[in-house]
Amino acid sequence: MDIALRVFEDALWSGVAAAGFGMLFNVPRRWLWLCMLLGAAGHGTRRLLEFGGVSIEIGTLVGALIVGFAGYYIARRLRAPQTIFTITGAIPLVPGVYAYRAMIALLQVTTAAPEATQALLADASVNAIRTAFILAAIAIGIAFPSLWFDRQRPIV
Amino acid sequence: MKTAIEVTPKVPLSHEALRDTIDLCLWAGQLLVQYGAETQLAEETVHRLGTGLGCDWLDVFVSYNALTITASSGVEFRTKTRRVLTHPVNFGTITAVTALNERVQHGELTREQVRLALRMISDTPRTYNRWIVILFVGLACGAFSRMFEGDWPAFWLTWAAASVATFVRQEFSRRSFNLLLVTIATAFTAGTLAGVGTLMGITTTPQFALAASVLLLVPGVPLINAAEDLIKGNVVTGISRGVWGGLISLAIALGLLIAFTLLGVRGI
């Protein structure tokens, strides 16, 4: 029960985050709630899987796949570019904090004592690698539906 | 419907008409690349727009900061390049350009009408009032602090710091500063405000407030587009976007580092 509540709260806040960024990205007003829904579904799923012991990278992939398929379907129905829904919906999944930690560690290398340098470099690379994997998971997840369904369509 | 279009032989455009068409295509493509469309979307939309306006074929080369099109019709062909200078995200414009392209596909519009429509799209102001954006982007960052399971004071602190930072970003962007400088200034503002709140001891989870209040700057669109371009084989554009996203992240860290050093706060 406790987990259900925490996942629900997480999904709620993810929706708020997606909507806020949707406004920053100038998403048309009539579609903002859809972005909110996708953001909540994607990150809520990841949080649920995290409670189930799944790694954040795999969790991101599953969450992004949900955002991708839902965004693909919505974009088809509304005859709109799917980028609007998939990117805005994936924003809560973006590994901002990992990137932040990697950069902070990198910048500290310059001022750190020599014996601390190794630990900082390791910290920076681990966080940078996780950032890269999570980003790749997001991109695979949201690009997958169009790669799967539209492969027959003649490309430019 | 598709076959009907293919079967009907196209009337070759004159050299002048071709120039007009390629200008319209460049304009539409510039709007798409500038406002955050990934490469494949820009390429396909421009190609279909040009053929919808009467060209036989268009080859479209999209790079991160320029767009080259070769359009051919009958025996004539023309090639033109247009620069894309800035990359502010605006999905409203992308929606409008895509919708315009759909109408062209149905044969509803002439070149003159497309020109008027593009002028209107370019002149349309952003949907949301800047103060509403400030409020809600701040709220979005506050939401992130809650997602990291920070406490309520951290949420309010993040909301305040991120809102002021959004205001600073708008002011700097309006004065056309280099985007990296804008990012450093914004991150510095957010870091200082969140850091002062931390020093005042209003929250028991200061690390989440510090991290969440700069999330408004995270280059999510360039980074996601970068990865998507790479997957779809547009390697050069993907790398450009990725490098740019990395530089922005570095600028965020730099702004924060200055703020933290001045205040004597520790980051994460």
pLDDT digit string, tens, across residues B70-117:
999 988 899 999 999 888 899 999 999 999 999 999 888 889 999 999
pLDDT tens digits, A86-124: 999 999 999 988 888 888 888 788 778 888 889 999 999
3-class DSSP state for residue B85? Answer: coil
Task: Output the pLDDT for position A115.
Answer: 85
- Considering only CB atoms, A25 lies closest to which of B90, B249, B250, namely B90
- The average pLDDT across A50-71 equals 95
Give the nearest partner residue to B136 out of A14, A23, A156, using CB atoms. Answer: A23
Query: What letter would DSSP give residue B33?
Result: H
Q: Using the beta-carbon criterion (under 8 Å), do B91 and A103 form an inter-chain contact?
A: no
A25 contacts on B by Cβ (under 8 Å)? 36, 89-91, 221
Retrieve residue B27's tokens: 């304009």
Comparing CB atoms, the residue among A25, A26, A104 nearest residue B253 is: A104
Look at A87 and B220 and tell me if their CB atoms are within 8 Å.
Answer: yes
- According to DSSP, the residues that pair with B69 across neighbouring strands are B60, B80
Tallying the residues shown for chain A, one arrives at 156
User: Is pLDDT at B58 greater than 70 in this prediction?
Assistant: yes
Residue A57 within any structural domain of the chain: yes
Same domain, yes or no, for B119 and B141?
A: no
ipTM: 0.89
Work out how many domains chain B is built from and give that number: 2
Whether residues B28 and B114 share a domain: the answer is yes
pTM comes to 0.89
| Residue A38 resides in a domain | yes
Q: What is the mean pLDDT of residues B148-176?
A: 93
Residue-wise burial string across A41-58, b where 16 or more C-beta atoms lie within 10 A, e elsewhere = bbbbbbbbbbeeeeebee
A residues 96..115 contacting B (CB < 8 A): 96-97, 99-104, 106-107
Residues 6+ apart with CB under 8 A from B208: B145, B148, B149, B150, B154, B158
Distances in Å between the Cα of B224 and the Cα atoms of A14, A28, A139, B131, B263 are 18, 20, 6, 27, 33
Gap between the Cα atoms of A104 and B47, Å rounded: 43
Is residue A30 included in any domain, yes or no?
yes
Range of the domain at B137: 130-263
Residue B162 has pLDDT above 60, yes or no: yes
Question: Based on the domain organization, do B190 and B247 belong to the same domain?
Answer: yes
In this structure, the answer to whether residues B80 and B134 fall within a common structural domain is no
* Pairwise CA distance, residues B58 & B40, whole Å: 14
Q: What is the pLDDT of residue B1?
A: 45
Does the residue A155 lie in any domain? Answer: no
Determine, yes or no, domain membership for A156: no
Whether residues B115 and B163 fall in one domain = no
Report if residue B194 sits inside a domain. yes
Q: How far apart are CA B84 and CA B91, in angstroms?
A: 17
